[in-house]
Amino acid sequence: MILKFKNSLDSSRILFLITSILLLPASLSSQPFKADTIRLKENLLFLSGDPLKGRAPGTKEDSLAASFISDKLKSAGFAPLIGNSLMVPFDFIIRREIEQGSSIAISGKNLLEDKDYFISPISPSASISGEIEVIDKNSNSLVNKRGKIALIKSDPDSVQFFTTPISQQGYEGLLFYNDNEINPLKNVRSSGVSIPVVGISKELASFILSEKSLICNIECRIEIVKGRSFNVLAVKPGPNKSRYILAGAHYDHLGFGGKGSGSMYKNEGEIHNGADDNGSGVVSVIEMGRVISERIDSNPNSNHSYGIAIAAFGAEEMGLIGSRIVVDTLTSLNLLPALMINLDMVGRMNNRRVQAGGAGTFLGADSILLNVNKDYSLNLTVTKDGYGPSDHASFYTKGVPVLYFTTGVHKEYHTPSDDFDLINFAGLKMVTDFVSDIVYNISDMGFVPVYQKSEAPVSSARRSFKVTLGVIPDFTYEKGDGFRVGSVTDGRPAQIAGMKEGDVIINMNTKKINNIYDYMSALGDLKQGSQVQVIIRRGLSEITLQIHL
C-alpha cells in the first residue's frame, strides 16, 4: 500500500501512529497480558455448537472436543503432562441395557414386553424361577426366602433401594408396580444390583394379587456398554517438572439428555449444548494457558517457581470419572500439583458476582483472593470447603489445595437452553483474567500453598439420611462386589474408626454390600448414637470396624 499525505499535519499523525506501533510490543511487555474475547467466543462457538451434539462422554463428538482442546493447547506451546500425548484415554461404563432374548412368563404364559412388563437395566444377567410372594417393601423376614420372587409396590425411581434387604432375605428376584402406567426404561448409566428387577403393569399386578401359587420365570440378558473418553493434560514446564499449578475444567456435557443423563428437561432428544456447563470453563482455561504462557515467555528474567498445567476432564457429568482417574494416575507417579484450580460454569456473570470456593484448603488463600481482586472489584462470595460436585473435589480428597470458581447456577442449567447466546463474554473474560493473575502471581512470588483440612459441607442429599459415615463414593468402581470409598472426611465416624480411602465396604451390620444402592439402603437403617459393624476389604485382607455414629 502506498500512503499519500494530504498535508504536513496528516504526515505528522501517520508518523506518530507508525512510531507508536513500532513501540507497541515494548510498552505491552510491561503490562499484564489479558484474555482475548474473540478467542473465547471462537472456541466456545465450536465446543457448544450443535455439530458436537452435547459432548456426551464416549461419543465421537466427545473425542472431537478433546482433540480441539488438545490442538489449542499445543499451539500455545504446551507439552504432554504425562506420556507422549496431551489426550489421555480412559474407559468407563456408559450404560447398562436390555439385550434381545430377555423374557418373562407367569405360570407358563409368556408376557408382552412394554405392555405387561419391563426388565430394569439395573438387573444382572440371570435366569431364575420362583413362586411369587407379595410382601411389604420394608419387610424383613427371618425366614430364608430362597426360591421365591418378591412383589412390592414401589416407585421406579426408588425401587433399587429395596433390592438389598429383599435379596438378603433370599428372594431370587423382585417384581414391582405402582398406580401409574408402565414406563419402560431401556438403559441406565447407574450401577447394577444383585437380583433381577422387573416392573409390571398395574393390571398384571391386580391379577397376581388375586391369585395364589403363581410361578414366575425371568430371563434377564443385560449388556454392559463401555465407552472411551479422554482427559486432556498439558503443561508448560517450570524449573522443576514435578512442581506446577494445574487449572482445569470438565469439557463433557449431557448429549441429547434423557433419563439418567442428569437433564432437567422433561423431553428427550434435544441437544444439550452446555455452553456454560462447562464450555465456559474449558475455553477459560484454554485462554488462561495461552495468556500465562505468553506472559512468562515475554519476561525471561522472571523467577517463576511453578510450571503451569491445563487439564480438560472427561466424564465429569457421570460422577467425576475423568478427574478421579487423573488424580489416581498423578498420585502413582508422585506428580500431584501444588495447587488445583477448577472452573465450572463461569459464563453467566451478573452484577460482577463470582463464587470462590476452597479458601480454607490452604493458608493464605483469602489474602491472595483479596489482593488480586483489588484490580477487578468483583463481588466475591468466598467459601472455605474444598469438597463439592465438581472436579476439584477429586484433588482435594488426595491432599491437594484447591480453588474453585463459578458464576453460579441458572434456570438453563442442564437444559437445551444453555446456549452460546446467553454467555456474558465480558464477564467470562474478567473471570479468565482474574484467575490468570492468581496463577501468575502465586508462581511469580514463589508462594507455597500449604494444604489444610476444611469441613465438608452438609448437602441436601446428605440431610435426607439420619446419619452418615463421612465417606465419598468412588464412582469409577463398578465391580459389583462392594462399595469403594473414594475419600474419608477427617473427624467423621468412618475416619475415627480407621477407614481409609480405597477401602471397599462389603458388609454393614450383617447386610451384604455390593454397590452404592446397598450402601445407601443400609445407611437409611442407622440411627444417631448407635454403633454399626462394617466389614471392609483392604487389599487382600478383610477388616471389621466398629463405627460409632
Residue 170: which CATH number?
A: 3.50.30.30
Least confidently predicted of 257-261, 409-413, 473-477: 473-477
Final residue before a domain boundary, out of 171, 197, 220: 220
Domain membership flag for residue 67? yes
**Residue 19 amino acid letter:** T
Work out the number of other CB atoms within 10 angstroms of the CB of residue 80: 17
Q: Cα-flanking dihedrals φ and ψ of residue 404, to 5°?
A: -135, 130
| Same domain assignment for residues 308 and 423 | yes
Final residue before a domain boundary, out of 410, 445, 480: 445
Q: Tell me, what's the pLDDT at 343?
A: 98
Distance between CA atoms of residues 47 and 68, nearest Å: 8
Distance between CA atoms of residues 448 and 143, nearest Å: 61
Domain membership flag for residue 85? yes
Residues 6+ apart with CB under 8 A from 250: 278, 281, 282, 312, 313, 314, 315, 316, 317, 322, 323, 344, 390, 391
User: How far, in whole angstroms, is CA 27 from its chain's centroid?
Assistant: 43
| Same domain assignment for residues 288 and 384 | yes
Q: Tell me, what's the pLDDT at 454?
A: 76
Residue 31 pLDDT > 60: no
Q: How confident is the model at residue 427 (pLDDT cuts 50, 70, 90)?
A: very high
| Same domain assignment for residues 329 and 422 | yes
Q: Which cell numbers hold the place of 171?
A: 428372594
Give the chain's end-to-end CA distance (angstroms, integer). 81
**Residue 476 amino acid letter:** T
Domain membership flag for residue 507? yes
Q: What is the mean pLDDT of residues 408-417?
A: 90
pLDDT in tens, 209-219: 999 999 999 99
| Same domain assignment for residues 285 and 185 | no
Q: Tell me, what's the pLDDT at 466?
A: 57
CA angle 104, 109, 111 (to 5 degrees): 45
| Same domain assignment for residues 241 and 287 | yes
Q: Encode 327-354: b = buried (16+ Cβ within 10 Å), e = exposed.
A: bebbeeeebbbbbbbbbbbbbbbeeeeb
Does 455 or 437 have the greater pLDDT score? 437
Q: Tell me, what's the pLDDT at 27?
A: 35
User: How far, in whole angstroms, is CA 314 from its chain's centroid?
Assistant: 8
User: How far, in whole angstroms, is CA 326 from its chain's centroid?
Assistant: 13
Q: Tell me, what's the pLDDT at 475?
A: 64
Q: Tell me, what's the pLDDT at 328?
A: 95
| Same domain assignment for residues 293 and 333 | yes
Does 70 or 519 have the greater pLDDT score? 70
Highest mean pLDDT among 50-59, 132-141, 388-397: 50-59
| Same domain assignment for residues 151 and 179 | yes
Q: Cα-flanking dihedrals φ and ψ of residue 219, to 5°?
A: -115, 110
Residue 406 pLDDT > 70: yes
Residue 19 pLDDT > 70: no
Work out the number of other CB atoms within 10 angstroms of the CB of residue 116: 19
Stated length of the chain: 549
Q: Tell me, what's the pLDDT at 528?
A: 81
Domain membership flag for residue 6? no
CATH for 412? 3.40.630.10
Q: Tell me, what's the pLDDT at 489?
A: 77
CATH for 488? 2.30.42.10
**Residue 441 amino acid letter:** N
Q: How confident is the model at residue 455 (pLDDT cuts 50, 70, 90)?
A: low
Q: Which structural domain range is residue 477 located in?
A: 466-548
| Same domain assignment for residues 115 and 203 | yes
Looking at the 3D structure of the chain, how many domains does it have?
3
Distance between CA atoms of residues 341 and 432, nearest Å: 12
Q: Encode 359-387: b = buried (16+ Cβ within 10 Å), e = exposed.
A: bbbbeebeebbeebbeeeebebebeebbb
CA angle 277, 520, 224 (to 5 degrees): 65
Residues of the chain with pLDDT > 70, as a percent, come to 91
Domain membership flag for residue 31? no
Q: Which cell numbers hold the place of 370?
A: 483479596
Q: What count of Cα atoms within 13 Å lies in the side-chain half-sphere of residue 147?
A: 3
pLDDT in tens, 149-207: 999 998 887 788 888 889 989 999 999 999 887 777 777 766 788 899 999 999 999 99
- Contact by Cβ (8 Å): 164, 197: no
Residue 297 pLDDT > 90: no
Q: How far, in Å, are 48, 402, 486, 496, 506 from residue 490 at the CA level?
A: 39, 17, 13, 8, 22
Least confidently predicted of 165-174, 473-482, 484-493: 473-482
| Same domain assignment for residues 105 and 215 | yes
| Same domain assignment for residues 488 and 424 | no
Domain membership flag for residue 27? no
Domain membership flag for residue 18? no
Residue 33 pLDDT > 70: yes
Q: Tell me, what's the pLDDT at 525?
A: 79
| Alpha helices (H) along 94-177 | 160-168
Q: What is the mean pLDDT of residues 105-115?
A: 94
Q: How confident is the model at residue 529 (pLDDT cuts 50, 70, 90)?
A: confident
Mean per-residue pLDDT over the chain, rounded: 88
Q: Tell me, what's the pLDDT at 457?
A: 53
Total-model pTM: 0.73
Final residue before a domain boundary, out of 173, 205, 220: 220
| Same domain assignment for residues 289 and 361 | yes
pLDDT in tens, 228-276: 999 999 999 988 888 999 999 999 999 999 877 888 887 878 999 999 9
| Same domain assignment for residues 167 and 50 | no
Q: Tell me, what's the pLDDT at 289?
A: 96
Residues 6+ apart with CB under 8 A from 336: 327, 330, 395, 398, 399, 400
Domain membership flag for residue 26? no
Q: Tell me, what's the pLDDT at 29?
A: 34
Residue 128 pLDDT > 90: yes
Instruction: Indicate the SS3 state at residue 452.
Output: coil
